[in-house]
Amino acid sequence: MLLRPTDRGLFCEAGNFYVDPWQPVDRAVITHAHGDHARWGSRSYLGSREGERVMRTRLGEQAHIRCVDFGEVVTLDGVRVSLHPAGHILGSAQVRIEHQGEVCVVSGDYKTEPDDTCSAFEPVRCHTFVTESTFGLPIFRWDPQHEVMAEVRDWWAGNRDAGRSSILFAYALGKAQRVLSALRGADIGPIVTHGAVERLTRDYRDSGVAMPDTIYAGAEPRGRDWKGALIVAPPSAAGSPWLRRFGASSTAFASGWMRIRGARRRRSLDRGFVLSDHVDWPALLAAIDATGAECVWVTHGYREPVVRWLRDTGREARSVASQWEGEDDASELDATELSAEDAAAQP
Amino acid sequence: MKRFAALFSAIDSTTRTNEKVLAMADYFRDADPHDAAWAVHVLSGERPKRLVPARRLAAWAIEEAGIPEWLFEEGYHAVGDLAETISLVLPPARRESDMPLHHWIEDRLLALAGQSDDVQRQAVGEAWQELSGVERFLWNKLITGGFRVGVSRLLVIRALSKMSGIDDATLTHRLTGHWHPDAAAFSALVAADTADADVSRPYPFFLAYALEHELESLGNAGEWQVEWKWDGIRAQLLHRRGQRFLWSRGEESVADRFPELADAAALLPPGTALDGEILPWVDERPLPFAELQRRIGRTKLTPKILREVPVVLLAYDILELDARDLRADPLSERRRALESVLRFSGDVPLRISPIIPAADWGAVRSAHGRARDMLAEGLMLKRRDSAYGVGRRKGAWWKWKVAPHTVDAVMIYAQAGHGRRASLHTDYTFAVWQDGQLVPFAKAYSGLTDVEIRALDSWIRKNTTEKFGPVRSVKPEQVFELAFEGIQRSPRHKSGIAVRFPRILRWRTDKPAAEADSLETLHGLLEKFG
């Protein structure tokens, strides 16, 4: 087998590298810049050119990062490694590993739905497919983005008419920019950002992704009237004193978890918009099928149900533990905590 | 249904009470009165009779979704709500429906009554094809009951009051007891003429808040009437125009559960309403509450159970005499009226809850110390000049409960919660020591803060030793101080005991599991108070 799970993450012995290790290693291949995949401290990284800017923000300007184009083949100790778009966030990649005729693909996180802020997911044929399973249950099914964004605009308009500001929580890296991009040209605004969001949005702009104009909240005078504004902030800002400046407001969260009513109510949010950067149940199964893989490794999420489903439908499958046990929204909570680091890093 | 779904979404998409009330008031104003009647009914927590067992509904959804049962169960554990899980796994709707709410309830839901399994299956499947999103969720909620949407009966009444200009008390009175949701009932509910009075209707119960300050802050002890706080079922017994009614505080008619009380009501003068406590009563003493539960649990009241668990109504108050509403009179006058009415000999199961003589606060404290011996939950303090109000109000009446029993116990199992606690582990099983083994004795769900729940959830995930479905065995390391009100022998529990109202007082992070209490401690409490 080309890969094996270790206590630092997936290891390719033949090529002497790890994929998304959660502890410092010599050679790390990174699928994308989210904190539970790109960990600080390894001696060298290999990542996609598309994601270079955001990886540097996350891993530090000093980090030794070799960037490659999608599809470009790099040989590591005789193992052929290439990156292919995963459609999750800017620069997100699947890692294709080929050695002695055997092909293994590590998906990282991915979605197959189109997203203007990153390259579209490409199915890659392989023998072994390592898939995430964040939303690996049939209760998770997404409506198309344009329908969800229409709800967001209606919510904003209702708040504006009621003299309130609209505070939308979205992960600072990826979801926030996807939402912003989808609001380009919409009759909405002003669009105001939290520091964590602003900094990564700048990275997106620097990477050539079109973003609407945003106002960084921290640069605005105290006591400004925010009625009718749309504020985009990381989920960690929910319930924090930072929100007080916006006065009367309505709060919402854009996340796949908002498919579950209890997940929204538990956070005392007014609205939940079901918008995810992961595959839903039908897309997960379709993506697995498209790889033609004989064997599927399932990690990160609802591992056991997905493994059992795959086995019951005649495929070889195994569950691979990750340090980030995301059986439910715990994984997104981790992501929330990680983005809190960014909150400190004001632009 | 679309209009009602929009109302639900409006209510559900705000955490502000005022906005919920406004949304409901708008709905009640615009909606067809027949729909409005049903909306009042379900939003205030009533539900149509359950006609399809929840498990059967789930089985049909599993068929429609084309998934195995275990996968549905996984979804249910993540969602924590059956109606919601069903609406999420079903394939998208094929049609739309413009039919109003009352059509969905009366012609589609209630029409399922008495139908064969196949017919029900067919009808429910068709409904699913016509409903999507929120509408489908609401339909499932109506079928499975338990319609909790973050609105209380109180808020519904406020909305009705806003819409109609009629005061809350009148609306509460009109909504109490039998209320059949149809257009006429809704019109009568919001009718400007308030002279109506259904003969069967009880009054809204007046409730007390827990005592917050020292007794001395209540002023002069002589201004207060002190009674035992009995541990039974609060109820109103009515005798009006030859008819007898017995209502529990949940506004459920319980006359058929307690026929001896309904019979005794005939001895009251016509036009009488008593407020009191139903208690299992033998030799002028209450039996433990569990005995009453045993009797309530019987579907058929056999002579044996009637003999073993006889009940009395211990009357606290009189709300109506000679068809006159006495609630505005001072308590001292109502008490005199009550004493004049309840002059029966021994075998009539209607008694007066005794007043505890208490000339000063010292005497009240000493009575409080004796409450457990009386099998009472504590004391009631009522201002002698107080009117009988509506709902829970501060100031006139206070309850002063005895401190609960407490033990330190070890958490051994955890399970994810429901509703807003879905996919967080919030239901815990606790055990105490016996011969080096941990014996489970209680489950508790409440008492921790949100921060503690999250921390504990994360600990549980990392320290799971085994999983059986939704239940996890965890390392027996975490100790909690549990409080409970009563303790009973119970052959159904492995520990041989059952406790009443167990809840978590504190997370004893300072205490190692080995120092938790033993079953012996519980048996000691059982000897003393069981």
CATH code where residue B240 lies = 3.30.470.30
Instruction: Give A282's pLDDT tier (boundaries 50, 70, 90).
Output: very high
Residues in chain A with CB shorter than 8 Å from the CB of B71 are 137-138, 305, 308-309
Q: Considering only CB atoms, which chain A residues are within 8 Å of B84?
A: 260-262
Examine the domain organization and report whether B339 and B211 are in the same domain. yes
Find residue B376's DSSP bridge partners: B230
Distance of alpha carbon A152 from alpha carbon A150, whole angstroms: 5
Q: Which regions in chain B score pLDDT beneath 70?
A: 146, 169, 176-177, 194-198, 250-251, 419-422, 530
Residue B172 forms part of a structural domain: no
Identify the pLDDT of residue A34.
Answer: 93
Same domain (yes/no): B418, B397: no
Residue B80 with chain A: CB contacts under 8 Å: 260, 262
Q: Name the band, by pLDDT with cuts 50, 70 and 90, for residue A333.
A: very low
What residues are paired with B392 via a beta bridge? Answer: B207
Structural domain of B119:
2-144
pLDDT of residue B191: 86
Angle B187-B192-B193 from CA coordinates, rounded to 5°: 100
Handedness of CA B171, B172, B177, B183 (dihedral sign): positive
Which ranges of B348-406 would DSSP assign to H, the alpha helix? Answer: 361-370
Residue of B nearest to A265 (CA): B420
- The whole-number average pLDDT for the span A278-299 is 96
What per-residue confidence (pLDDT) applies to B180? 86
A262/B150 touch (CB, cutoff 8 Å), yes or no: no
Whether B196 maps to a domain, the answer reads: no
CB contact under 8 A, B423 and A302: no
pLDDT above 60: residue A340: no
* Residue from A238, A232, A284 nearest A263 by CA: A238
- The sheet with strand A27-29 has its strands ordered as A3-6, A9-12, A17-19, A27-29, A44-48, A65-68
Inform me whether the C-beta atom of residue A260 falls under 8 Å from chain B C-beta atoms. yes
Strands (DSSP E) contained in B98-241 are: 206-207, 209-210, 224-230, 233-240
pLDDT in tens, B36-52: 999 999 998 877 778 89
Strand, coil or helix: what is B130? helix
- Give the residue from B34, B408, A13 showing the smallest Cα distance to A25: A13
* Strand A27-29 to A230-233 pairing: unpaired
Q: Is the pLDDT of residue A346 over 60?
A: no
Look at residue B69 and give its three-state secondary structure.
helix
Query: What is the C-alpha to C-alpha distance for residues B170 and B319, in angstroms, rounded to an integer?
Result: 15
The average confidence (pLDDT) of chain A is 90
Please tell me whether residues B417 and B468 are part of one structural domain: yes
Q: Name all domains of chain A by residue range, CATH numbers in brackets.
A: 3-140+278-344 (3.60.15.10), 145-273 (3.40.50.10710)
- Which of these, B491, B493, B471, B489, lies nearest to B529 by C-alpha position? B489
**Residue type (1 letter), A260:** I
What pLDDT does residue A223 have?
83
> What letter represents residue A7's amino acid?
D
Instruction: Spell out the residues 6+ positions from residue A132 whose beta carbon is closer than 8 angstroms to its own.
Output: A107, A108, A109, A110, A278, A279, A299, A300, A301
Kindly state whether residues B107 and B227 are assigned to the same domain.
no
d(CA B185, CA B33): 9
Q: Which of B386, B401, B416 is the last residue of a domain?
A: B401
Whether B419 and B392 map to the same domain: the answer is: no
Are B244 and B262 in contact by the 8 Å Cβ rule? The answer is yes
B337 and B409 in one domain?
A: no
**CATH number of the domain residue B459 falls in:** 2.40.50.140
Alpha-carbon gap, residue B352 to B484, rounded angstroms: 28
Q: Which of A250, A260, A309 lies closest to B79 in CB terms? A: A260
Minimal CA separation from B422 to chain A, in Å: 6
A266 with B78: Cβ contact below 8 A: no
- Answer whether residue A326 shows pLDDT above 60: no
For CA atoms A115, A118, A119, A125, give the dihedral sign.
negative
Amino acid in position A86: A
Amino acid type, B510: D
Determine, yes or no, domain membership for B188.
Answer: no
Residue B163 falls inside a structural domain: no
Q: Are strands B425-434 and B479-484 parallel, antiparallel or unpaired?
A: unpaired
- Regarding whether B363 and B225 lie in a shared domain, the answer is yes
**Min CA distance, A90 vs chain B (Å)?**
29
Q: Which of B358, B381, B401 is the last residue of a domain?
A: B401
Q: Are residues B313 and B390 in the same domain?
A: yes
Residue B370 and residue B224 share a domain: yes
The DSSP output letter for A134 is T
Same domain, B90 and B70: yes
CATH of the domain at B125: 1.10.3260.10
Q: Residue B414 in contact with residue B448, Cβ under 8 Å?
A: no
Please judge whether B75 and A139 are an interchain contact, meaning their C-beta atoms are less than 8 angstroms apart: yes
| Domain assignment present for B97 | yes
Distance of CA B398 to the CA centre of its chain: 20
Q: Which two structure tokens, joined as six digits, stand for B161?
A: 């009051």
Closest chain B C-alpha to A187 CA, distance in angstroms: 23
CB contact under 8 A, A330 and B80: no
**pLDDT tier at A335, thresholds 50, 70, 90:** very low
Q: What is the pLDDT of residues A69-121, one digit of tens each?
A: 999 999 999 999 999 999 999 999 999 999 999 999 999 999 999 999 999 99
Among B401, B425, B454, identify where a domain stops.
B401
**Number of domains observed in the structure of chain B:** 3
Say yes or no: B382 and B413 in one domain: no
Nearest in space to B234 (alpha carbons), one of B399, B15, B1? B399
**Any chain B CB within 8 A of the CB of A122?**
no
Half-sphere exposure of A305 (CA within 13 A, CB side): 28
Within-domain flag for B166: no
Q: Are residues B364 and B455 in the same domain?
A: no
Report whether pLDDT(A128) > 50: yes
To the nearest 10°, report the CA torsion of A56, A57, A62, A65. -20
Q: Is residue B200 part of a domain?
A: no
**ipTM, 2 dp:** 0.90
Is residue B12 included in any domain, yes or no?
Answer: yes
Tell me which residue in B14, B75, B421 faces A138 most closely, judged by beta carbons. B75
**Distance from first CA to last CA of chain A, Å, rounded?**
45
Helix axes B33-43, B2-12, angle to 10 degrees: 40
Residue A322: other Cβ atoms inside 10 A: 20
Query: Which residue from A203, A206, A205, A255 is spatially nearest to A234, judged by alpha carbons?
Result: A255
- Please report the pLDDT score of residue B362 as a whole number: 93
Are A93 and A260 in contact, with CB atoms under 8 Å apart? Answer: no
Q: Do residue B15 and residue A268 have CB atoms under 8 angstroms apart? A: yes
Q: Which DSSP category does A237 fall into? A: G
